[in-house]
Amino acid sequence: MKNYPLLLAGLLLFSTTAPALEKVASTTLDEVRQRTQQVAPYTLDQVLQTFTQTAHGGIQHVIVKSADNTRQIKLIQAHLLDIANAFRKGDFSVTERMHGANMPGLAQLKTAKTDDIRFEYQALPNGAQIHYSSEYPPFVQALHEWFDAQTAEHGSDVIPEHSQHHLTPAE
């Protein structure tokens, strides 16, 4: 009974701050979405995007919602190819414009030498993907942090028949 006032105060504090946190999170997602649309040439409402972690990094997929949307497919492919090429050169300016310089994992990724991290672009019939991988644990950790931040700020779409095929140790 002695802790009842303390418990009540804690519940009151949580109940008043939770809606504020939800509003901040929603605002952040909206802001990132707006900045992403300014950078990405394709229409965000017409694509699905995932960031799936693997044992050695992760895979980013961007695919169209409608398989006959060839214009969006070409835009996705060109954009992801540009991103992969920029990342290979250590240029993460696109990520910084969308998420800011303090994005988790980004500072570590920017220290990588040319062959420390692989950025393998692949065109897909319905979009494109980039496979990010490293054999060096600090860069794998940075990629995982970066992927977590991507998912937190972009959300994570569900791509049918996609959920488990990147979770093998061979990745």
Please choose, from the candidates 132, 142, 138, the residue with its C-alpha nearest in 3D space to the C-alpha of residue 52.
132
Degrees (nearest 5) of the Cα angle 134, 135, 139? 50
Q: Hey, where are the domains in the chain?
A: 40-154
| pLDDT tens over the chain, length 171 residues | 555 444 444 444 344 334 433 333 444 666 655 666 566 878 888 899 999 999 999 999 999 999 899 999 999 999 999 999 999 999 999 888 877 888 999 999 999 999 999 999 999 999 999 999 999 999 999 999 999 998 887 666 666 555 444 444 444
